[in-house]
Amino acid sequence: MNAVLIIDKPGGLTSHDVVNRVRRILREKSVGHLGTLDPLATGVLPLVIGNLTRLAQFYTSSEKTYEGTIRFGFSTDTYDAEGEATSPAQAINLSLEQVRELATRFRGLIEQIPPPFSAKKVQGVPAYKLARKHAQVSLKPVQVEIKEFEITQVNANVVPDLRAAEQSSPGSVASFRARVASGTYMRSVAHDMGQLLGCGAYLESLRRTAAGEFELADSHTLEQLEAAVQTGHPDDLFIHPRKLLPQFPSVTANEEMTARIRTGRPVNLPELSQARLVKVFTGQRELIAIATRVAGTLFHAKIVLAGAATPQLADN
């Protein structure tokens, strides 16, 4: 089974949990994801299955789109709603204009410190493992890009979060939409906004609405996948191979070209002489290779997706 499947991840599961569920449902060992979602988050989680796990290398820099909410009033150790309060709660009423003005400081290229509860490594150890042991976590700022960050509304005097010391303190919740480059933490954005205001803040909810070319409209729940397998039609949920990696042109190979590509020999593609990478298909649905231009109109398979053993992809 070689496919790309978009799962609408439910809250409460790690991305690794989803991968394991899909492995069991499809009875397929080679399943991986194309970008971690925190347990709190929901939405678009692209999965690659079988030989198409080899496509993961082309999705490492895919931009992401999110919708979510930021609660102002206190901060947490995880920078989201699952953590423990790290500052006293403050009663704060923010206007839409105030939060929108603050959001302008987070657009474009910015320096961002990842959350202590993250997969970033400190001397080879994931930061979250150190943070769980209450060890000091010191992460260096990294440059990220926030291409769009829009505050859509602010609700003041919302129901208090009872984890804070002053349990009756109300706060303000800002709803947002964001489009960001790979590697951007919206948890850090929420935390940093609270620090700048002096009141603390954390990411209350997050839903990924797009990752690369994949959108919520392409996604399916785990329950829908189980139902499709039971009726014998899981293929109906898979992304059509022609829709993958739209930034690369495609070519349909004849029998001779297919044989050359599958055996690692170069092929001549004069009509694609300006392309750096090309998707190679047989028929309408079988993606057999991603070819790279080596000289002039000569292309060589960078990865072969048919006729070779299936690799394993890291899923955490």
What are the catalytic residues? 38
Helix, strand, coil content of the chain in percent (nearest 5)? 25, 35, 40
User: How do beta strands 277-282 and 250-252 pair?
Assistant: parallel
Residue partners of 145: CB distance under 8 A and separation at least 6? 108, 109, 110, 180, 181, 184
Q: Cα 141–60–127 angle (5° rounding)?
A: 40
Q: Which of 57, 298, 305, 86 is nearest to 191 (CA)?
A: 86
Residue partners of 204: CB distance under 8 A and separation at least 6? 68, 69, 70, 71, 80, 81, 173, 190
How far apart are alpha carbons 222 and 254 in whole angstroms?
A: 37
Alpha-helical segments (H) within 33-148 = 96-103, 127-132
How far apart are alpha carbons 101 and 86 in whole angstroms?
A: 25
Q: Read off the DSSP letter of residue 170.
A: -
Please provide residue 54's backbone torsions phi and psi, each rounded to the nearest 5 degrees. -65, -15
What residue has token string 């493992």? Answer: 129
Q: Which of 143, 151, 144 is nearest to 178 (CA)?
A: 151
How far apart are alpha carbons 37 and 39 in whole angstroms?
A: 6
